[in-house]
């Protein structure tokens, strides 16, 4: 809008500044005073036109300012009206919501009252039906009441029927308690019998197990006795065999000693061997036999039957010192 106003003022000012065209005359033909007057006239007209344009522009700007002020006031009024209208709408919405809530509450209250009334009517109907049943039952039990009155009159022990009924209820409760106690006693007796039966079974099983263990122990005792007898017989056999071996060993030692003494006595070999050293004695006898065989072979080399026999080597570790012994001529 400001751009259009500026263009409009510029166009109007340009139109006002347009002067009437003066007939073209040769500037050289006009005198200087005339040219000066013409210039002053043009300047005055231009100043007058500018002044009128300024006045018109000022008036228009004043009108525009007034218009702007009026528009601002109008806008303020419109804002106030809009604010009031918004407040009115909000208040209306609040009132409408409140009215709807109240209507909903009233509707719910009416529905609740209707449900309560329906429930009360149903309860009243049930109470009436109960009253009818009680009346019918009272009519049916009236004969029992007369009977109880007659019993009360005949017994003469109670003041009224409720006292008599209370007494009979106490008797029934006592009977039930006694029956319960008897049942409990029966259960305890059954449990005791079951425990006794279990104890008897456990005792019989324990006795059976003990008898089995005793039988096993007796069998083991018999087996141990049999093993002892076998070991004793085996030990006796070992002892007898050992005695025989010892006797045979003594005989062998005695025979070796006799041979050793005979050989050393015949060959004049010094006998510096202990009597208990049987191995050394055997080695000495062996060496003597080897010497004799060697001598026989030297004396009769042509006879085939006189070859020295192949004898085992000496086993003793004792040194042999009779290699240089000579056999007497008579013994040869």
pLDDT tens for 273-309 read 777 788 888 888 888 888 888 888 888 765 554 444 4
Choose the most confident range, by mean pLDDT, from 22-26, 38-42, 53-57.
Answer: 53-57
What percent of the chain lies above the pLDDT cut of 70? 80
CA 169 to CA 175: how far, in whole Å?
10
End-to-end CA distance of the chain: 182
Task: Tell me which residue of 264, 250, 327 sits closest to 296, measured CA to CA.
Answer: 327
- Sign of the dihedral through C-alpha 280, 281, 284, 289: negative
Question: What pLDDT digit, counting tens, does each position of 114-123 carry?
Answer: 888 888 889 8
Query: Out of 18-22, 139-143, 162-166, 169-173, which region has the weakest mean confidence (pLDDT)?
Result: 18-22
Question: What pLDDT digit, counting tens, does each position of 240-262 carry?
Answer: 888 888 888 888 888 888 888 88
CA 45 to CA 19: how far, in whole Å?
8
DSSP tag of 314? P
For 49, residues 6+ apart whose C-beta sits below 8 A from its C-beta are: 16, 17
CA 49 to CA 46: how far, in whole Å?
5
**The pair of three-digit structure tokens given for residue 36, joined into one six-digit string:** 């000066």
Query: Out of 3-17, 85-99, 104-118, 314-328, which region has the weakest mean confidence (pLDDT)?
Result: 314-328
CA 256 to CA 253: how far, in whole Å?
5
Question: What pLDDT digit, counting tens, does each position of 146-179 carry?
Answer: 777 777 787 777 777 787 778 888 889 998 999 9
pLDDT at position 323 = 41
Of residues 214 and 316, which shows the higher confidence score?
214
Residue 260 contacts residue 293 (beta carbons within 8 Å): no
Q: 18: pLDDT confidence band, cut at 50, 70 and 90?
A: low
CA 149 to CA 155: how far, in whole Å?
10
């Amino acid at each position: 809008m400001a751009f259009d106003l500026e263009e409009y003022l510029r166009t109007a000012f340009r139109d006002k500044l347009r002067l009437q065209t003066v007939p073209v005359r040769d500037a050289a033909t006009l005198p200087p005073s005339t040219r000066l007057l013409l210039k002053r006239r043009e300047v005055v007209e231009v100043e007058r036109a500018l002044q009128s344009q300024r006045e018109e522009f000022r008036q228009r700007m004043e009108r525009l300012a007034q218009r702007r002020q009026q528009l601002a006031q109008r806008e303020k009024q419109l804002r106030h009206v809009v604010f009031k209208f918004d407040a009115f709408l909000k208040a209306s919405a609040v009132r409408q919501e409140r009215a709807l809530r109240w209507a909903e509450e009233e509707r719910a209250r009416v529905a609740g009252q209707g449900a309560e009334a329906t429930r009360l009517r149903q309860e009243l109907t049930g109470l009436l039906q109960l009253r009818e049943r009680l009346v019918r039952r009272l009519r049916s039990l009236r004969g029992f009441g007369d009977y109880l009155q007659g019993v009360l009159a005949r017994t003469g022990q109670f003041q009224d029927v409720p006292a008599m009924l209370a007494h009979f209820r106490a008797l029934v409760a006592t009977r039930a308690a006694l029956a319960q106690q008897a049942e409990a006693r029966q259960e305890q007796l059954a449990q005791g019998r079951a425990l006794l039966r279990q104890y008897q079974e456990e005792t019989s099983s324990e006795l059976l197990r003990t008898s089995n263990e005793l039988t096993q122990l007796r069998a083991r005792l018999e087996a141990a006795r049999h093993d002892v007898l076998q070991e004793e017989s085996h030990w006796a056999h070992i002892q007898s065999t050992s005695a025989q071996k010892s006797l045979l060993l003594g005989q062998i030692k005695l025979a070796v000693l006799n041979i050793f003494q005979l050989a050393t006595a015949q060959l004049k070999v010094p006998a510096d061997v202990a009597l208990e050293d049987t191995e050394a004695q055997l080695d000495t006898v062996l060496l003597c036999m080897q010497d004799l065989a060697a001598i026989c072979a030297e004396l009769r080399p042509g006879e085939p039957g006189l070859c020295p026999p192949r004898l085992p080597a000496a086993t003793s570790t004792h040194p042999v010192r009779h290699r240089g012994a000579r056999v007497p001529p008579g013994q040869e």
